Amino acid sequence: MTQSQNRKPIRKAVFPVAGLGTRFLPATKAIPKEMLPVIDRPLIQYAVDEAREAGIEQLIFVTGRGKTAIVEHFDMAFELETTMAGRDKSLEVLEPTRIQPGNLVTVRQQVPLGLGHAIWCARAIVGDEPFAIFLPDELMIGSPGCMKQMVEAYNEVGGNLISVLEVPEDEVSSYGVIAPGKANGALTEVKGLVEKPKREEAPSNLIISGRYILQPEVMRVLESQEKGAGGEIQLTDAMARMIGEQPFHAVTFAGKRYDCGSKIGFVEATLAIALEREDMADEVRAMAQRLLG
């Protein structure tokens, strides 16, 4: 049996969605930021659609207080569906929100101790399998999707993978950056991870971009609860400790990334996606031209 045949498939994905979304207040006072719509789909839906395209079967939401709307979005809406059916309206638009029974699991992150802590909260459900991580704030648009590109790379090399994107060198100080090793097309060996380096000290201009495939051993590293930057338990620190212990690669995403954790990024994503849609592109382009004078 070959190594690839022995490799466990990526069946589970963790979505850390416990954040307060303070940058979007007051909109997020009563609505989770992951439920803010880009056109007609909430952010979390884009991430879930990307996961399903990649063959992910089980969705693990790490939630906090006030996040029930995220789970309800993927539940049956009896009154709505009954009303729509009675008016002879198609229910096809709701199909992406349907999750097979038992395939959506939630765990609670009671205290906001960082991304690493949020991932560690899912340890019992992840078990001894490799798993994916999606940061829904990072809206990744491509064909195929970012995680499908990563799963295809994982099937070749195994180990741990992160998605990366090239940015201008004067922007590297805002991101986590990889120290690259050998490159083969879109696949680059990761020799190290540097958080928000100065421009002149950055080992590359390849930034970490919100999608990961990690081996379950990362949970044992996170178990130590060691605090890093900002006094939080950092996932980047745990990944850095695994470099050299297991294969670690970066996949340069062939597509577009929109930082929907910022207001400008959210507006950009909305406009860009609208301009790609056949049902609205012409009107949106005309509207933008009118607004720009």
The CA distance from 278 to 195, in Å, is 40
How wide is the angle at C-alpha 225 spanned by C-alphas 219 and 229, nearest 5°? Answer: 110
Q: What is the arithmetic mean of pLDDT over 98-105? A: 89
Q: Which residues of 69-100 are buried (b: 16+ CB within 10 A; e: fewer)?
A: ebbebbeeeeeeeeeeeeeeeeeeeeeebebe
For residues 30 and 142, state if they share a domain: yes
Q: Does residue 158 share a domain with residue 230?
A: yes
Query: Does residue 207 sit in the same domain as residue 117?
Result: yes
CA 243 to chain centre: 21
pLDDT at residue 2 greater than cutoff 60? no
Residues 239, 186: one domain?
Answer: yes
217 & 293 share domain: no
Report which residue type is found at 208: I
Which residue has 């990362």 as its token pair? 218
227 pLDDT band, cuts 50/70/90, is low
Contact 51, 60 (CB under 8 A): no
Q: Could you tell me if 176 and 284 lie in one domain?
A: no
Question: Is residue 139 over pLDDT 90?
Answer: yes
Same domain as 107, residue 81: yes
Over the stretch 38-55, which tens digit does the pLDDT of each residue have?
999 999 999 999 999 999
CA–CA gap between residue 99 and residue 114 (Å, rounded) = 28
CATH number of the domain to which 44 belongs: 3.90.550.10
- Domains held by the chain: number: 2
CA distance 248 to 149: 16
pLDDT mean across residues, the chain: 89
What size, in residues, is the chain?
Answer: 293
Nearest CA among 17, 10, 239 for reference residue 122: 17
Confidence category of residue 102, pLDDT binned at 50, 70, 90? confident
* pTM given for the model: 0.91
Judge if 165 and 216 occupy the same domain. yes
Is residue 4's pLDDT more than 60? no
What is the residue range of 73's domain? 3-261
